[in-house]
């Protein structure tokens, strides 16, 4: 696998950090084990390589178990795992992968921040993913507004909106289950992709110890309500 900033510096192992606001942009963090502990050592805006494996694992944070969507990219004989948490940037990446007929080529995923202004003049920021396959920009397989479920707003027994720290509360379970099932389609499609060598498959099936880090929910937009989705494919 490879990853690069503008200068094209390679990396070995990373995870998507999706927090977006005025000060923060999304990036891929390189995780390395130093003195027995996992540490984020570098940041990159783009990862690339041949997709050779996809799987779903789980991690726990404060008693809540969340799914991780893992992609293994192979480049020049080196295999590296991307860990994607449940957020809008991840869903955009999954949506792009769903549009591919097979994965026998180089996949590139670049993440960045966009700046927009709403009707009342306020500036807000969104995390984006730009996905290409063999140099060609991918499209979304699903329409985010029409094909994808929305989080369900929660209400009290008296009909009043349930609030937490003054904000509306939404149930995201339906959204999470939807994208989990869509990711499973990528797993199955990958199994049917030709030209994945036995050696690559054996390497991917080795147990790779992931970084022991907590999964903290990250807001991928500085503007949208908790129940809203970003509907742009880039």
Model confidence over 188-205: pLDDT tens digits?
A: 999 887 766 444 444 444
3-class SS letters over the chain: CEEECCCCCCCCCEEEECCCCCCCCCEEEEEEEECCEEEEEEEECEEEEEEEEEEEEEEEECCEEEEEEEEEEEECCEEEEEEECCCHHHHHHHHHHHCCCCCCCEEEEEEEEEEEECCCCCEEEEEEEEEEECCEECCCCCCCCCCCCCCEECECCCCCECEECCEECEECHHHHHHHHHHHHHHHHHHHCCCCCCHHHHHHHCCCCCCCCCCCCCCCCECCCCCCCCCCCCC
Q: Which residue has the tokens 């807001």?
A: 219
Most confident listed range (58-62, 87-91, 204-208): 87-91
Distances (CA, A) of 112 to 18, 25, 158: 9, 6, 42
pLDDT reading at 187 higher than 70:
yes
User: Average pLDDT in the 140-164 region?
Assistant: 95
The whole-chain average pLDDT of the chain stands at 82
- pLDDT value at residue 55: 95
- Scored b (16 or more CB within 10 A) or e, 136-147 reads eebebebebeee
pLDDT reading at 100 higher than 60:
yes
Structure tokens at 136: 């060609």
Positive or negative torsion for Cα 83, 64, 96, 54: positive
| pLDDT digit string, tens, across residues 124-134 | 999 999 999 99
User: Average pLDDT in the 47-66 region?
Assistant: 90
Domain limits, the chain: 2-140+175-204
User: Average pLDDT in the 65-70 region?
Assistant: 92
* pLDDT bracket for residue 1 (50, 70, 90): low
pLDDT reading at 21 higher than 60:
yes
Residues of the chain above pLDDT 90, percent: 58
pLDDT reading at 11 higher than 90:
no
């Amino acid at each position: 696998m490879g990853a690069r900033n503008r200068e094209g510096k390679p990396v070995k192992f990373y995870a998507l950090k999706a927090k977006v606001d005025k000060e923060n942009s999304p990036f891929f963090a390189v995780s390395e084990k130093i003195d027995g502990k996992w540490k984020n050592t570098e940041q990159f805006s783009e990862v690339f390589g041949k997709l050779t494996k996809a799987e779903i694992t789980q991690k726990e944070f404060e008693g809540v178990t969340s799914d991780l969507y893992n992609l293994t990219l192979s480049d020049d004989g080196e295999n590296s795992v991307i860990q994607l948490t449940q957020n809008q940037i991840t869903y955009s990446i999954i949506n792009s992968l769903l549009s591919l007929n097979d994965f026998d080529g180089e996949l590139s995923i670049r993440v960045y921040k966009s700046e927009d202004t709403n009707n009342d003049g306020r500036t807000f920021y969104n995390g984006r993913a730009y996905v290409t396959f063999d140099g060609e920009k991918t499209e979304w397989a699903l329409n985010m507004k029409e094909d994808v479920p929305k989080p369900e707003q929660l209400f009290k027994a008296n009909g009043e909106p349930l609030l937490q720290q003054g904000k509306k509360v939404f149930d995201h379970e339906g959204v999470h289950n939807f994208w989990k099932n869509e990711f499973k389609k990528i797993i199955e499609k990958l199994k049917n992709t030709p030209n994945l060598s036995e050696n690559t498959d054996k390497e991917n099936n080795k147990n790779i110890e992931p970084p022991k880090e907590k999964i903290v929910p990250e807001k991928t937009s500085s503007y949208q309500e908790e129940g809203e989705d970003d509907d742009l494919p880039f």
